Structure 1
Amino acid sequence: MNFKDLADKTLITDNDITWEDLGAGVKRKIMAYDDQLMLVKVAFEQGAIGSVHNHPHLQMSYVAKGSFEVSMGEDKKILNEGDVFFAPSNVYHGVVCLEAGLLVDIFNPHREDFLK
């Protein structure tokens, strides 16, 4: 299934979507999106890094599995399964995976750069 096939889908099966290998122990699946909202799964091997970055999108991330050291602006905190972090627009944030894990990221609006 390609990214354009996902646009505006309402019933999505995980097995129909393949992982995109981002390298360095990180891979992602774009699960669903429209113009305003996007849900993405991001899997991390232990020790993998989600580099510190910022973007204009609002982002909420749910720790579905594992443990992460999360940087948000000047703050750092270890988050575990069931925890959440919120990245406001243009705030620098990143993660270091302490225990193999999975983040479920939600963006508003959708990340056009992920679709290229």
Structure 2
Amino acid sequence: MNFKDLTNKTLIADNDIDWEDLGAGVKRKIMSYDENLMLVKVAFEKDSIGALHHHPHLQLSYVAKGSFEVSMGDDKKILTEGDVFFAPTMVTHGVVCLEAGLLIDVFNPHREDFLK
């Protein structure tokens, strides 16, 4: 399924969407989005890294599985299943996967760069 086909989709089956391999033990699925909101699953193998970065989008991330060392600005904390982190606009953040895991990321507005 093409990512563009997901725009304004309201009933989404996980099996209908393929994983996008980002390399280095990280893959993602863009589950749904419109111009204002996007939900993305990101799977990490143990010891894989979500590199430090920043963006103009608001981001909420839910730890659905595993354990991550999360960097947010100058702070670091280990988060596990059920925990959440919030990345405000332009704040540098990233993760190191300590135990194979899954993050559920929500962005406002949607990440146009993910759709290319």
- Shorter chain as normaliser: what TM range? over 0.9
**C-alpha offsets along residues 19-71 of structure 1, whole Å, 9 cap, x if unaligned?**
00000000000000000000000000000000000000000000000000000
State the partner residue of 2:5: 5
Question: Matched residue of 2:70: which SS?
Answer: strand
Q: Secondary structure at the match of 2:4?
A: helix
Q: Name the counterpart of 1:84.
A: 84
Cα RMSD of the aligned pairs, angstroms, is 0.2
Q: Which residue of 2 aligns with 1:115?
A: 115
What does 1:1-116 align with in structure 2 at a 5 Å threshold? Answer: 1-116=1-116
Aligned partner of residue 10 in structure 2, secondary structure: coil
Partners of 2:3 and 2:97 in 1: CA distance: 27
TM-superposed CA distance for 1:91, in Å, is: 0.1
4+ aligned runs moved over 6 Å, structure 1:
none
Give the letter aligned to residue 35 of structure 1.
Answer: E
Distance in structure 2 (CA, Å) of the matches to 1:80 and 1:21: 23
Report the TM-score when normalising by structure 1.
Answer: 1.00
- 2:82 alignment partner AA: G
Identical amino acids, percent of aligned pairs: 82
Count of aligned pairs between the two proteins: 116
SS at match of 2:35: coil
**Residue ranges of structure 1 left out of the alignment (5+ in a row):** none
- 1:4 CA displacement: 1.1
TM-score (norm 2): 1.00
Q: Counterparts of 1:9 and 1:102 in 2: how far apart (Å)?
A: 22
